[in-house]
Amino acid sequence: MVTEEEIRNALKGVMDPELGRNIVELGMVRDIRLSDDQVDLTLALTTLDCPLKDRIVGDVKSAIRGLDGALIVSVELVEMSAEERAKIFGKQQAVRPLAEQFNEIDHVIAVMSGKGGVGKSSVAALLAIALRGQGERVGLLDADLTGPSIPRMFGLHSVPGSSPLGMLPAVSSSGIKVISINLLLSREDEAVIWRGPLISRAIKQFWGDVLWEKLDTLVIDLPPGTSDATLTVMQSISLSGVLLVTSPQDLAGMIVRKAARMAQHLNIPILGLIENMSYIQCPHCGRRIEVFGPSRAEETARALGVPLLGRIPLDPELARRCDSGEVESYSVDVFAPIAAKVCALVPNAKSKPVF
């Protein structure tokens, strides 16, 4: 008959996939009870809602049956106390929101304009839709708390759900996960009259208290300008890079250069520049009409030392789809080549937050 010591030694080979340490070292193995051909033990998880608990239990049973294949193994799951979790994660990690510990996000792309009115949110939405169309798991975080427009574009109105791990994002018709302050308000036209610290705190909660789970890409729609909200994102979230959005007017070009200087100052990679509302295409003759003047995109991109990813036309159909909550039904043929360039330019490593 196997002994308790042999079982503990066998369980040292079972790793917690999230923490990268064995379950005995972590103090997760409790109350091993032996009787004839049965082993009963208690396993303490950091949370009972751990998405990998079935895998851990399976590994425990396999390790014990490796000692004696005839053994019947029963595992009871309990949850650690806050003090026990604090000892495992350490002082720094103990203060991390629980949801953040279970999120796995490969790439985080912030869409930034500097100036309002250039269609930054539309570009963020189109990027998310194009990436989703390529089969990626995509999230969209609306960090423009005082001017949120993402939920209306996607036709989302329901209050997000919740779980023991954190807030659950809303999910669009194509499967894009979305979080926005407008999903939490009693009326979508209710004003968010908050000072900078409150806005910054809310953005941090959208990042750390929302259970995004596994995402290939999280797109963040930043507010215009270089205010507290933008600074919070760049200082507290590991970004893969920033996309700059401008329009043909020289004034817009001047303001987007300010945004670029901010990203460069904080060592955030700039993936490239997109010129939105660059022209309108005549539905009768197909001629391009530059309604806001000649394009300055190449000149601006060259001055910043970043690639010009593309020029997007001014399309009344896009505006109609956004207003009616049907942006996902808009054709992304024009945007698809831009999304492909973005994917090719996104670095594997993220920038380190600057506190």
Q: What pLDDT is attached to residue 230?
A: 87
Q: What pLDDT is attached to residue 159?
A: 84
297 shares a domain with 235: yes
41, 69, 93 — which closes off a domain?
93
Q: How far apart are CA 74 and CA 52, in angstroms?
A: 18
144 shares a domain with 11: no
| pLDDT tens, the chain, 355 aa long | 789 999 999 999 998 876 778 999 999 999 999 988 899 999 999 878 666 788 899 999 999 999 999 899 999 999 988 788 777 766 444 456 788 889 999 999 999 987 788 999 999 999 999 999 999 999 999 999 988 999 999 999 988 888 888 899 999 999 999 999 999 887 888 888 777 778 888 898 999 999 999 999 999 999 887 777 888 888 889 999 999 999 988 777 788 888 898 888 888 999 999 999 999 988 888 899 998 889 888 999 999 999 999 999 999 999 999 999 999 999 999 999 999 999 999 998 887 655 4
Amino acid of residue 330: Y
Q: How far apart are CA 294 and CA 117, in angstroms?
A: 18
Q: What pLDDT is attached to residue 236?
A: 82
Taking the CA atoms of the chain, what radius of gyration do you get in angstroms? 25
103 shares a domain with 76: no
225 shares a domain with 83: no
Closest to 131 measured CA to CA, from 342, 307, 313: 342
Closest to 310 measured CA to CA, from 126, 114, 115: 126
Q: Are 130 and 332 in contact (CB under 8 A)?
A: yes
120 shares a domain with 229: yes
Task: For helices 316-323 and 120-133, give the axis angle rounded to 10 degrees.
Answer: 80
Residue 276, phi then psi, degrees to nearest 5: -95, 160
Q: What pLDDT is attached to residue 310?
A: 95
What is the domain-level CATH number for residue 64?
3.30.300.130
Amino acid of residue 244: L
Residue 269, phi then psi, degrees to nearest 5: -60, 135
* pTM exceeding 0.75: no
Closest to 134 measured CA to CA, from 292, 334, 332, 355: 332
Q: How far apart are CA 105 and CA 238, in angstroms?
A: 10
Q: How far apart are CA 222 and CA 175, in angstroms?
A: 21
Q: Does 350 reside within a domain?
A: no
112 shares a domain with 83: no
161 shares a domain with 203: yes
28, 58, 93 — which closes off a domain?
93
What is the domain-level CATH number for residue 267?
3.40.50.300
β-bridge pairing 138-142 and 177-179 = parallel
Q: Does 264 reside within a domain?
A: yes
Q: What pLDDT is attached to residue 150?
A: 96
Q: What residues make up the domain containing 17?
A: 4-93
